[in-house]
């Protein structure tokens, strides 16, 4: 689950990480009072789950109330890389001396958390590392030992902060940075994060260290023990329905509905459809067993968007026998209202028996393919025929007018 900046910062604050005072607004009228309370200058920042919002005009620094109101009016409702901005964060300003980068993320390669720090933030850290390797720290954290003191010292050394610099409260800036690194690790570990990124982590003119942004991903598999975090609000209706039915579902842009039993199998089917000149409307993995009620739920989710012109059901029977799967499909397709042509591909355990059972049932609009290759060819042709017919129908309607 990806968190928005303000959600991540709320958790940062709980974990004792330094963040600026801010208020969340969803209406432009709220910008002015929020800004007045925080004091000028303020930053108005679009809350979206995508990068590049600065370049897109989603972050504005405002010197007075009029500017804040105007910025909020522009930002709320704008679209950044296809994400509509529903909320903005009004945040007090900071006098930035230097921007740095700090993150902990789950690394496949290291099979655990990886700490990354760069002396310069807000930029391509790989490029900085090429120019000056001493500016970058990249160190795996042992999941059983946790963050070690030497790793914190490495970060502080790479930061190159003036050893005599102290905050207004009299604390050494270097020590403040070390504390941020430790707190970020504690946060990452305790909150089951798979990404906790601060870009930029800022050193202010007052020698304070502040998290100016947050990018946090919480492990979906661990939400059961992060109960206060709630669900993913950004999930759309179909994705929610699919999740509740135990389906792995991703909507795509094409017009061929796809469902199958296995993530790899469905991905592979989508690729083969593309190779044959078609385009999938979704990714839908119904998991093992291919039980009738699961297939029915998948059909409901896939067809409710109204974009599918044809449907491919691809089942490989491993432990499950294909003739049992076939009887389940007959039960589903015999009762469900499916208005698009359906192609079924059965292979594996008792595949021939399964195909026979389906062929005998002779369901209207349902074709049984003899192979995966043929199934893909048939469904691409069916979708194309349906698209052509629709285009023809529109043209005919135009003539009648």
Partner 1 sequence: MAILIDETSRVLVQGITGREGAFHAGRMRAAGTNVVAGTSPGKGGQVVDGVPVFDSVAAAVRDTSADVAVLFVPARFARDAMLESADAGVRLVVCVTEGIPARDMAEVTAHLTRRGSLLVGPNGPGLITPGRCSAGIMPAAVFLAGHVGLVSRSGTLTYEVVNELTLAGIGQSTVVGMGGDPLHGLGFLECLERYEADDETASVVLIGEIGGGDEERAAAYVNEKMTKPVVAYIAGFGAPPGKRMGHAGAIVDGSSGTAAEKKAALEAAGIPVASAPADVVPLLRQRLERRRSR
- Which residues here bind partner 1, judged by CB under 8 A? 106, 108-109, 111-113, 142-144, 189, 192, 194, 219-222, 224-225, 248, 250, 252, 260-268, 270-275, 280, 283, 285, 316, 318-319, 347-349, 371-373
Decide: helix, strand or coil at residue 189.
helix
Phi, psi torsion values for 214, nearest 5 degrees: -140, 140
Q: How many CB atoms lie within 10 A of CB 351?
A: 21
345: DSSP letter: E
* 3-class state of residue 346 by DSSP: strand
Closer to partner 1 at the Cβ: 94 or 222?
222
What does the block give as tokens for 348? 């594996």
Min dist. Cβ of residue 158 to partner 1 (A):
24
Burial class (CB in 10 A: 0-12, 13-18, 19+), 276: middle
CB of residue 310 vs partner 1: minimum separation in angstroms?
Answer: 16
Catalytic residue from among 67, 176, 197, 324: 197
CA distances (Å), 44 to each of 3, 12, 29, 48, in order?
Answer: 18, 19, 13, 13
CB 253 to partner 1: min, Å: 8
Question: Which one of the listed residues 91, 101, 120, 324 is annotated catalytic?
Answer: 101
| Residue placing its CB nearer to partner 1 in the complex, 131 or 225 | 225
Classify residue 99 as exposed, middle or buried by CB count within 10 Å of its CB (0-12, 13-18, 19+). middle
Q: What's the chain's length in residues? A: 401
The Cα–Cα gap between 102 and 140 comes to 14
- Compute the least distance from the CB of residue 208 to partner 1, in Å: 31
CB-wise, 172 or 287, nearer to partner 1? 287
Compare residues 37 and 373 and give the one whose CB is closer to partner 1: 373
Decide whether 76 or 281 has the Cβ nearer to partner 1.
281
* Comparison of 174 and 355: residue with beta carbon closer to partner 1: 355
DSSP state of 70: H
Residue 6 known to be catalytic: no
Give the separation between CA 315 and CA 262, rounded to whole angstroms.
Answer: 8
Beta-strand relationship, 342-348 and 310-317:
parallel
- Find the shortest distance in angstroms from Cβ 256 to partner 1: 11
Closest CA to 379 of 300, 268, 277, 260: 277
DSSP code, position 19: B
Q: Tell me how far, at minimum, the Cβ of 294 lies from partner 1, in Å.
A: 14
Q: Which residues are catalytic?
A: 101, 197
């Amino acid at each position: 689950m990806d968190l928005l900046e303000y959600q991540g910062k709320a958790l940062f604050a709980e974990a004792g990480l330094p963040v600026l005072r801010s208020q969340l607004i969803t209406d432009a009228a709220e910008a002015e009072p929020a800004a007045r309370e925080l004091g000028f200058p303020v930053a108005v920042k679009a809350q979206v789950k995508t990068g590049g919002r600065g370049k897109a005009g989603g972050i504005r620094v405002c010197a007075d109330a009029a500017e804040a109101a105007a910025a909020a009016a522009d930002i709320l409702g704008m679209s950044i890389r296809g994400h509509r901005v529903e909320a903005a964060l009004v945040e007090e300003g900071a006098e930035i001396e230097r921007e740095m980068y700090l993150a902990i993320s789950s690394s496949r390669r290291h099979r655990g958390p990886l700490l990354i720090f760069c002396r310069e933030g807000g930029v391509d850290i790989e490029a900085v590392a090429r120019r000056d390797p001493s500016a970058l720290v990249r160190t795996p954290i042992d999941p059983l030992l946790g963050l070690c003191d030497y790793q914190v010292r490495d970060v502080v050394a790479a930061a190159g902060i003036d050893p005599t610099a102290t905050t207004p409260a009299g604390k050494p800036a270097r020590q403040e940075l070390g504390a941020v690194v430790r707190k970020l690790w504690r946060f990452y570990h305790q909150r089951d994060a798979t990404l906790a990124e601060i870009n930029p982590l800022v050193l202010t003119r007052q020698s304070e260290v502040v998290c100016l942004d947050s990018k946090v991903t919480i492990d979906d598999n661990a939400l059961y023990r992060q109960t206060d975090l709630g669900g993913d609000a950004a999930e759309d209706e179909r994705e929610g329905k699919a999740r509740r039915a135990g389906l792995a579902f991703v909507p795509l842009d094409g017009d061929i509905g796809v469902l199958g039993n296995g993530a790899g199998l469905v991905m592979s089917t989508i690729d083969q459809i593309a190779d044959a000149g078609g385009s999938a409307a979704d990714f839908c993995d119904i998991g093992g067993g291919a039980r009738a009620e699961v297939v029915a739920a998948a059909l409901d989710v896939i067809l409710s968007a109204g974009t599918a012109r044809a449907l491919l059901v691809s089942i490989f029977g491993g432990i499950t026998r294909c003739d049992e799967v076939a009887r389940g499909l007959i039960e589903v397709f015999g009762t469900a209202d499916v208005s698009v042509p359906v192609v079924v591909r059965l292979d594996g355990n008792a595949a021939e028996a399964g195909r026979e059972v389906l062929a005998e049932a002779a369901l209207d609009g349902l074709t049984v393919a003899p192979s995966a290759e043929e199934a893909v060819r048939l469904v691409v042709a069916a979708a194309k025929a349906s698209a052509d017919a629709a285009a023809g129908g529109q043209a005919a309607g135009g003539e009648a007018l």
